[in-house]
Amino acid sequence: MRLRRPARALIAACVAAAAVACGAADPDDFPPPPSGFGTGPLATPAAPSSPGGTPDLETPAEVGTGLDVPWGIAFRPDGTAFVAERDTGRILRIAPGGGPAEPVYQVPGVVARGEGGLLGLAVSPADPELLYAYFTAESDNRIVRFRLGAQPQVVFQGLARAGNHNGGRIAFGPDGLLYVGTGDAGEPRRAPDPADPSGKILRLTPDGQPAPGNPEPGSPVYSRGHRNVQGLAWDSRGRLFAAEFGQNRLDEINLIEPGRDYGWPAVEGTGGAARGYADPLVTWGTDEASPSGIAIAGDTLYVAALRGERLWTVPIEPAALGTPRAVLDGRYGRLRTVAVAPDGALWLSTSNTDGRGDLRDGDDRIVRFPAR
C-alpha cells in the first residue's frame, strides 16, 4: 500500500444518462477539471456520524449464516439491523446484538445480473421506520424508500446500470442528507462529466432532490471522477471518506471534498494533483484490497476487502491517514460490508456466494465484533 498526506443544470432523476463510448480510455483524452466546477457555496457536515470506542476483533460472534450475498447493512437507533441480499432482492431483519435473520421485505423490480441487484441500504435519521434502498432495475440503477409492508417510492432514478461498476452504497451524513456512491457502469467517460450522475458521489435531500449547497446549484453531484464507489464513512470531525475500486493497479481511499475531481479515468492512484485532480490518501494493489464497505469507529477506519480477503484497519490522524494494518487475513474469505452499530459493535458481511469466492460452511455470514 502507499500513503500520502493530504454540474451543470439539474440532472433529471427520471431520465437515464446518455450512452457514451465503452471500454478503456486513454488518460490523455481527459484534460484537467475545469476551474469553474465546484465554485458554488459548500455545506460541511458539522457532527460525527459514528460512535466512539474500539471493536474487539478477538471476540467474533456470528449473527447470521446461510445468507445470499449480503450487501447493504443499516441500523435503526435501537440496534435493529437490516440486511440486503443482492441476488434475491430480500431485506432481512436481525435483532439488536444478533439473532435469526428474518425476511421482512421483498424489493420489487430488482434485476440481479453480474454485480447488480439489491445493493445499499440506509435508515432515515428522521424516521427510523423509513428505509432507503439502492438497486439495479431492468433499465437503470435507482433509489427507493419504503416502510415495511408498503409499496416503495422511487426517489432517484436514471443511474446507468451494467454488469459491473454499479456503485451502490448509500448513507445519511451528519447533515441529514443522503449521500450516494455511483459507478461509471463500465464507461469511463461518464465519470468526469458533471452532467452525468454516474461515476460520482451524489448528495441528495431525503426526497431525492439535489441538496442545497451542492458545488453546482441544482445538481446532485458532490464529487466526480470516480470509477466505482462502494464505501462511505464520516469521522469524528465530519470528514467524508470513500473507498474506490481501481482498474488494474491501485485501489483507493479518498478524502471527499465537495466539488473535487478524483481523476478517473485520467489518473489511477496518485499523481494527479499537479493536473488539478484530488489524490487519494491511501492506495493498495488491487490484489490486496478491492475495497467495498468502509466504516469508522473511534479513530480507526475499517475497510472490507473483497479480492484481498482481509479487513484493513487504518488509523485516522488529524492531517492524514496512518499506516494500514491487515487483520482477519483469509479467515472469512471475501469481505463486502463493514458497519458500526449504535452500540459501537462492528458488523462484517462476507461475499463468498457472489460467484467469485471459495465457499465455507455457513456462507454467506455476518460476524459481529463487540465494542470494548
116-175 pLDDT tens trace: 999 999 999 999 999 999 999 999 999 999 999 999 999 999 999 999 999 999 999 999
Q: Taking the chain, what is the end-to-end CA distance rounded to the nearest angstrom?
A: 28
pLDDT band of residue 52 (cuts 50, 70, 90) is low
Q: Is the pLDDT of residue 3 over 80?
A: no
What is the pLDDT at residue 18? 34
pLDDT in the model for residue 17: 34
**Whole-angstrom Cα distance, residue 275 to residue 259?**
15
Can you tell me the mean pLDDT for 96-109? Answer: 94
d(CA 212, CA 53): 33
Which percentage of the chain shows pLDDT scores above 90?
Answer: 84
The whole-number average pLDDT for the span 31-46 is 43
- What is the model's pLDDT at position 193? 98
Kindly indicate whether the domain formed by 2-6+47-369 is annotated with CATH number 1.10.10.10. Answer: no
pTM: 0.89
| Domain ranges (residues) in the chain | 2-6+47-369
pLDDT at 20 over 90: no
Say what the pLDDT of residue 323 is: 97
pLDDT higher than 60, residue 204: yes
Q: What are phi and psi of 188, to 5 degrees?
A: -55, -30
Q: Does residue 22 have a pLDDT over 70? A: no
pLDDT: which is higher, 350 or 49: 350
Residue 50 reports pLDDT greater than 90:
no
